[in-house]
Chain A
Amino acid sequence: MTRTVTPQVSSPEVTASAIPEAIALPGLFSSEFVQETAALTRRLFIQLQRRPTTLIAGVIQPLMWLVLFGALFQNVPRGLFGESDNYGQFLGAGIIVFTAFGGALNAGLPVMFDREFGFLNRLLVAPLASRLSIVLASALFIATLSLIQTAAIVGTSAFLGAGLPGPGGLLLVTAIVLLLVLGVTALSLGLAFSLPGHVELIAVIFVTNLPLLFASTALAPLSFMPAWLQVVATLNPLSYAIEPIRYIYTHSDWSLTSVVMQAPFGAVSMVAALAVLVVFDAIALLAVRSTLKRTLS
C-alpha cells in the first residue's frame, strides 16, 4: 500500500538541471555577507535599545569599582604602587581591561539563548553566505559596548585625578581593548556552541571571571605577588592588556619599545605585549573555528 497514486500537477517553472547554474552562491566577504552581518548586528542593537538595563548596569558597575575599590587604598604611601600617582590611577587600567573582558565573556549568552529558544534554527535554515556572520555580528556588538564602557571609565578616571592619555595613547588603549574583546568573544561563542545549555555557560563564566582578575596585574603590581603567582599572572593574557594601558597612563613619553612589565622570564616591551594579544586572538579564533565548523556545518 505504498506510493499508490501520484497526482498530475502543472509543471513548475524550475527544473533540476536549471537550478545549480541559476543560483550563484555568495561566499565570505561578499555583499550578501555584509547584508546578513548588518541585519544580525542591527537585531542586537534593537534589543539593546529596548532593554538598555545591561548597558546601564555595565557602565555603572566599573565606575563603582573605580570609586569604591579605588578608595580602599586611598592612603597608601605614595609610590607604593609603582610609578602611579595614586591607587585610583593604578586601578583604572585594571578596571578598563576587566570590564571589557567581562563583557566579552558574556558574548556567548545571547547566542546560547537563541539556541535554546530555537531562534538559531531560523538562521541555520537560511542560505547565509557564511555562518561567521553570526559570530561577527556578536563581536561587533560586544566591541561597541566595550568601547562605550571604556570611554565612561577613562572619563571618570580623569575626573578622579588619574589624568588623560594623549590622542595616540587613547588610540592604543582602544586597540588593546578591541584585541582583547575579539579573542574573548570568540572563546565565549565557542563555548556557547559547544556547552549543553545556559546553566553550564554561566557556570563557566562564573569560575573564569574573578580568578582571572585576581591572577592578573589588575589590582596589584607583580612585585607584590609571590613568585608562583607572578608566573601565573604573566601567563594571563589580561596582564598583557593591563600593563600597556597602565604604562600609557603613567608615562606621557611612552613608545612601542618601552618596557611595560618585568616578568619573571624577562622584560616585556609594549610591542611584545601587543604581539602576545594578537597571538592570543589567533589561538582563540583557531580554537573556535573548529567548534563552529563542527556544530554549524
Chain B
Amino acid sequence: MTPAICIQNLQKCYGSVNAVQNVSLQVEPGEIFGLLGPNGSGKTTTLRCLCTLTTPDAGTVDVSGISVLEHPKRARQLLGYVAQEVAIDKVLTGRELLQLQAALYHLPSQQSSDRIHHMIDLLGLTEWIDQRSGTYSGGIRKRLDLAAGLLHQPHVLVLDEPTVGLDIESRVIVWNFLRQLREQGTTILITSHYLEEVDALADRVAIIDNGSVLATGRPSDLKDQLGGDRITLRIREFTPVDEVETAKSALKSVSCVQEVIVNPAQGNSLNLIVTPQSDALTTVQQALHQAGLPTFGISQSRPSLDDVYLAATGKTLMDAELAAASRRDPKEERKQNMR
C-alpha cells in the first residue's frame, strides 16, 4: 500500500544551522503518527518541507505517492496544514475566514456553505462563528484553525503542536476530534513536545532530536522493548552530592538493580532500572537503610514514554527542552518561518 506520507533522508540548513540533518518517516494511511521532540529539534522544519512552504536541501517527500517537490499543487490539494502559531485575520469573523479558506481550495459555493455549516457543528463553534476572530480565546481559535484546515477534506492532516497553550478542556476536545477523524480514515501527522499527547493519540511515534529520527514504533512496543521497571528515589528533597554517591554505590550492589542514573535537574533524585519483581521497592529501601540514608520519596513504575525518550537520546525530554530553550534564537526562527 502506498504510504500516506513518505519522507526520505530529508535535510535542511538555514545558514549554519542544521535544522534537519536526516529525517526519514513513513506514515501509513489512516494512522495518527506523532513526531516527538523538544523545541528546535527540527519538527516544524520537517512539516514545512512536507507542506511545500520550505524547499529541502536534499531528500524526497511524497504524499500518497505524489512528490511534493515535483507536484506541489497536487500535494497541496491532499494536505491540510494547521500551523502552531494560529494565523487568523482578527478582523474577519470565523465564518468569513472559513469562506475565504473554501475559496482558496476552490470549493463550489453550495459545497462550501454545506461544509462550513458541518464544520461549525462538528467543532462546536456556533456561538462564536459570527464574531470577529480577534475576540476568540486560544481554544476557540485553534478549533477555528482546525475547521479551516479540514474544510477541503484533506487526505493527510498535518498539525504542528496542536495543543500548545491550550487549557485542559480544549485539549481534550481537540484530542477527541482527532480520534474521530482517524475513525473516518484521515491520516494525521502531529508534532508535539508533550509526552502525554503523543501517548494518548499516536498509533506510532518517531522520536526526533537535533534534526534526526532516533527511534520509530508504537509507543507500547517502544516501552516494552526497554524492559525492566523504573524506580524514582529521592533521599532528601534536595540531596547533597556525597550522599547521592554513597547511595549509588550501595544500590549498585543490590541484585535486582540494573542501572542507577542521577538526575541533577530534579534535586539529585535517583532513577533506577530494576528487574520487574514485587519486592523491588522494599529491597531498595532496605539497602538504603543499611547504608544509613533516609528516604524522602520512592515510587515504582513501568517504563514510560519519557524513558523511551531518555534511552533514545540520552536525556529526558524536559532537560532537552531546557537545553533547547537556551540555544534558541526566536528572532532567527521567526525569520525562517516568514516567506
List residues of A whose CB falls within 8 A of some B CB: 1-7, 9-17, 19-20, 23, 25-26, 32, 35-36, 38-40, 42-43, 46-47, 50-51, 115-129, 193, 196-197, 295-296
Is A115 within 8 A of B338, CB to CB? Answer: yes
Chain B nearest Cβ from A135, distance in angstroms: 14
Can you list, as one digit per residue, whether each of B93-116 has a CB less than 8 Å from chain A (1) or not (0)? Answer: 000100111011110000000000
* Chain A positions within 8 Å of B92 at CB level: 43, 46-47
* Chain A positions within 8 Å of B106 at CB level: 26, 32, 35-36, 127, 129
How many A-B pairs have beta carbons closer than 8 Å: the answer is: 148
Chain A nearest Cβ from B147, distance in angstroms: 13
Is A118 within 8 A of B29, CB to CB? Answer: no
B339: which of A25, A38, A40, A120 is its contact (CB, 8 Å)? Answer: A120
Chain B nearest Cβ from A34, distance in angstroms: 10
B187's nearest neighbour on chain A, judged by CB, is: A12
Is B87 within 8 A of A122, CB to CB? Answer: yes
Q: How far is the CA of A128 from the CA of B73 in the complex (A)?
A: 7
Selecting from B170-178, B216-224, B241-249, B290-298, the interface stretch reads B216-224
The residue in B88, B222, B312, B338 that gathers the most chain A C-beta atoms within 10 A of its C-beta is B338
B159 within 8 A of A: no
Is A295 within 8 A of B30, CB to CB? Answer: no
B28: which of A6, A16, A197 is its contact (CB, 8 Å)? Answer: A6
Interface residues on B, range: 35 or more
A10's nearest neighbour on chain B, judged by CB, is: B30
Q: How far is the CA of A212 from the CA of B29 in the complex (A)?
A: 58
A112's nearest neighbour on chain B, judged by CB, is: B338
Chain B nearest Cβ from A280, distance in angstroms: 28
Is A121 within 8 A of B339, CB to CB? Answer: yes
* Chain A positions within 8 Å of B204 at CB level: 5-7
Is A19 within 8 A of B339, CB to CB? Answer: no
A11-B29 in contact given A5-B217, A51-B91 (Cβ < 8 Å): yes
Is A11 within 8 A of B1, CB to CB? Answer: yes
* Chain B positions within 8 Å of A296 at CB level: 339
Name 18 interchain pairs, CB-CB below 8 A, sorted by A. Answer: A1-B217, A2-B217, A3-B26, A5-B217, A5-B221, A9-B28, A9-B29, A12-B29, A15-B2, A15-B64, A16-B2, A36-B104, A36-B106, A116-B334, A119-B87, A124-B52, A127-B76, A127-B104
